[in-house]
């Protein structure tokens, strides 16, 4: 794994010199094990029923790890992407009934004809273990822009035939206030989208039937939602999103609600210029947790496995800018949640830009490393109990 284990040992302290791979944390000591190396800009990790692992490279490639080894050849059949700025091939998501229908879903930044603009789109196709076929686009966001940032692209299934997708605000001028497209129901910018699994619109979406709203919208007022997870027992949807300079958020997402960007928030523009009217406003939701300074909140997970029993039910999220994994607990207080515990320092402080946090079918925790600055870190690693 080259430098990564040594980096952990140096900055975190170890149980003993003879076990330099063991990392201490509040509830569980763990070790970091290399899974796959040599990937370019890995963005998303997903598991097939066989145990094989799919990984997207933002460059446009879909890769597979079979029996612990990365296949050297990309999987053919992926869509053309606009690999620029924060765009590229984003999430990979197998259908819940993949074993029967072989369907996988891909979100990506879709280019226009000359590549000068891009938007967020979703395709699905059949994966036979070697290649994608019958690839069809099922959603294209009304979020076209020449800008490079904030495509978002996180997806999940809710177990009831619905597909959720995040779409960022595409870097639109934050000083637009209430005129910002994230506040407009006639744009997909800055939204959480809810679709049927074929891309059609569920009849019970909150804005269906309104002439002044796009029917795919589930919630709005988001900046750059980079994490999405559902508590499958309660059906509650949680999201993380980037603030500007400060103001990253963890939100409980509810249908039809406005999450405030850029009218309210806890950050400032890069350089320190104020953006928001206030921190709170009637009709706009407050985050469950916010971070100042920003941590670059990314992949989001609720741990449900048995390998780390003291972590069961806890929320984990990756941090790009802060280069760590945050762990927290949520406690219900009446109709709202309260963050009951936030481990400090976070797990793996200063280790790497953590793009994805995912629980594997084996109950271990997998991290995708966005090693943008180089340095030889392994692309995908696994956390195992020490």
What is the CB-side half-sphere exposure of residue 42 using CA atoms within 13 A? 35
Give the Cα separation of 189 and 279 in Å (integer): 21
Identified catalytic residue from 150, 242, 276, 324 = 150
Give the Cα separation of 162 and 158 in Å (integer): 6
For residues 380 and 366, is the Cβ–Cβ distance under 8 A? Answer: yes
For residues 222 and 198, is the Cβ–Cβ distance under 8 A? Answer: no
Q: What is the DSSP letter of 111?
A: E
Backbone angles phi, psi at 195, to 5 degrees: -125, 160
For residues 209 and 136, is the Cβ–Cβ distance under 8 A? Answer: no
* CB atoms inside a 10 Å sphere around CB 276: 23
For residues 225 and 168, is the Cβ–Cβ distance under 8 A? Answer: yes
CA neighbor of 381 nearest in space, from 9, 39, 18, 20 = 39
Backbone angles phi, psi at 237, to 5 degrees: -105, 130
Give the Cα separation of 90 and 112 in Å (integer): 17
Residue 150: active-site member: yes
For the annotated catalytic residues, the residue numbers are 150
């Amino acid at each position: 794994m080259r430098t990564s284990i040594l980096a952990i040992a140096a900055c975190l302290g170890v149980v003993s010199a003879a076990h330099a791979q063991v990392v201490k944390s509040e509830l569980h000591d763990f070790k970091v094990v290399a899974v796959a190396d040599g990937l370019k800009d890995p963005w998303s990790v997903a598991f097939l029923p066989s145990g094989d692992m799919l990984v997207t490279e933002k460059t446009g490639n879909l890769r597979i790890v079979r029996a612990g080894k990365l296949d050297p050849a990309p999987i053919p059949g992926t869509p053309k992407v606009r690999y620029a700025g924060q765009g590229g091939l984003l999430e990979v998501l197998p259908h819940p009934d993949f074993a029967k229908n072989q369907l996988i879903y891909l979100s990506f930044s879709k280019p226009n004809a000359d590549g000068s603009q891009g938007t967020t789109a979703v395709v699905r196709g059949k994966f036979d273990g070697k290649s994608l076929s019958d690839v069809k686009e099922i959603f294209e966001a009304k979020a076209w822009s020449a800008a490079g940032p904030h495509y978002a692209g996180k997806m999940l299934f809710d177990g009831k035939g619905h597909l959720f997708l995040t779409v960022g605000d595409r870097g639109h001028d934050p000083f637009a206030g209430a005129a910002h497209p994230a506040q407009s129901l006639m744009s997909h910018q800055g939204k959480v989208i809810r679709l049927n699994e074929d891309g059609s619109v569920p009849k019970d979406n909150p804005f269906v039937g309104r002439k002044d709203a796009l029917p795919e919208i589930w919630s709005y007022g988001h900046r750059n939602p980079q994490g999405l997870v559902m508590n499958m027992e309660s059906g509650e949807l949680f999201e993380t999103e980037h603030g500007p300079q400060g103001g990253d958020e963890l939100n409980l997402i509810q249908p039809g609600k406005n999450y405030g960007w850029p009218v309210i928030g806890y950050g400032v523009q890069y350089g320190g210029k104020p953006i928001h009217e206030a921190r709170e406003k009637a009709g706009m939701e407050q985050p469950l947790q916010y971070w100042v300074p920003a941590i670059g909140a990314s992949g989001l997970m609720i741990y449900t496995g048995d390998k780390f029993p003291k972590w069961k039910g806890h929320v984990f999220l990756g941090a790009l800018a802060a280069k760590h994994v945050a762990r927290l607990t949520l406690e219900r207080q009446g109709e709202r949640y309260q963050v009951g515990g936030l481990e400090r320092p976070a797990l793996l402080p200063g280790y790497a830009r953590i793009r994805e946090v995912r629980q594997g079918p084996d109950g271990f925790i997998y991290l995708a490393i966005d090693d943008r600055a180089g340095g030889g870190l392994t692309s995908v690693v696994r956390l195992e109990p020490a």
